[in-house]
Amino acid sequence: MLADLLRRGELVVSIYGLGYVGLALAAAWVRAGAKVIGVDIDAAKVERLNSGVVEYLEDDVVEALSTAVKVGKFSATTDGVVASIRSHVKIVAVPVFLKKSPTAIEVDFSALTSAARAIGAGLKSGDLVIVESSVPPGTTEEVVKPVLEGASGLTAEEDFYLAYSPERIMVGHALKDITENYPKVVAGVGPKSAQVAAELYKLVAKKGVIVLGGTKEAEFEKLLEGVYRDVNIALANEMAKLANAMGISFRAAREAANSQPYSHVHKPGSGVGGNCIPVYPYFLMWAAAKYGVELPLTRLARLINERQPEEVAFAVVRAMLKHGVNPSTAKIAVLGLAFRGDVDDTRESPTYGIVSTLLRLGIRPEQIVVHDPYVKQDRQLARWGVALLQDLEASVKNADVAVVSTDHSAYRIEVAKITAHMRTPLVIDARGVVKPDPATYSIDLGRWP
């Protein structure tokens, strides 16, 4: 059994996709005693990893993988076929992309099917394939399984095992999420696949394993986690808008409401970013369309959250006009480019929506500065001609407006530490993290322009 190989330190695991999820998975399996082969199409990243350079925010991931490189327990390659031949377990963590248009939603499985073809070309009897990518329900059986069987000539559940186990991590504590914080959800295309995958993950996840009845159920579970949060955040954004119109503190009301055990109201903000929550509702809407099912609540929540960065940008302009600041000459500092605090991940960041709206409203690129302590360069801002800085004081110096878009720890400070360097002491906190004074506009304190 594969679990016995892991116990003896003889199991070889290949991981396809070395992004935030893949590197954390690699660290988890190395720690569990496996030898890991990482697969990625980025040759430069592969070269850096093989030289022991691990670029990741979490020290435990960096330490685990850099040590594993030195002792020969981790290596990386661009050759997915060879990695499949040399491994017993193949874990897929490549992205599935979303293509939206005003009239249609399309799902791009190209990265997933490419990985599956490479795996299939090297697949052997008794091997296990685990899909961990977030995917529309039905993907493992309807997309991955045919590709694997076609490329290998083998049959799932008879010759090899095929399972789905959704990644459940948050960058910042991803390795602990895998190994300590949450139970691992597992499902197989049949009972043998489910059992083999579950027995393996019991040796990795200290919180144990939850085995679901089928891969479609497990795929749905992962998306359900994200849609719950998206709908809840949309509710918070909508209710904060009402609270501000009434001049009352949404923060105080929310905290009181959540003292009741059945209430779990989320926080309002500048929008919803990342490659997860903004995407999962569309995966479900795409799947629902195949069954003739409408998801109006899911769709409306997504629309509310997608509009939120624009609402913040409009608030910036209203605040300038209210305080006699000329928008055509104002300097605007947007604090935070990452979609979430204390990470460098900018995917689907609300800041892009704030900046693009300001530009659309006539603010010139040279009037805007974006600050982020973690993000060193950004192609989109460069295309717009908007400066990106890592020094907070330099970013807000002589600014007329500072807009807090990301909940970085660097912004959990007295507002005076920001306004002391500004030309006009006008702060709009769209994340409710700055320690405000009466002149601060905060999205959840009943004072919003």
Q: Which element (helix H / strand E) includes 195?
A: helix 191-201
Q: How far is CA 434 from CA 237, 340, 371, 404, 413, in A?
A: 18, 15, 15, 8, 6
Residue 386, classed as helix, strand or coil, is coil
Q: Beta partners for 163? A: 130, 188
Going through 297-342 in order, the beta strands assigned E by DSSP cover 332-335
**For residues 403 and 415, is the Cβ–Cβ distance under 8 A?**
no
Strand-pair category, 184-188 with 161-164:
antiparallel
Q: Please provide the DSSP assignment of 173-187 as one string.
A: SHHHIIIIISPEEEE
**For residues 121 and 87, is the Cβ–Cβ distance under 8 A?**
no
**For residues 374 and 342, is the Cβ–Cβ distance under 8 A?**
yes
Residue 424, classed as helix, strand or coil, is coil
Residue in the structure block whose two tokens are 């059994």: 1
How does DSSP classify residue 367?
G
Q: Is the dihedral angle over the CA atoms 30, 32, 35, 36 positive or is it negative?
A: negative
Q: How far is CA 88 from CA 6, 200, 320, in A?
A: 10, 12, 61
Q: Spell out the residues 6+ positions from residue 354 whose beta carbon is closer than 8 angstroms to its own.
A: 270, 271, 309, 310, 312, 313, 316, 334, 403, 405
Q: Any idea which residues carry the catalytic annotation? A: 222, 276
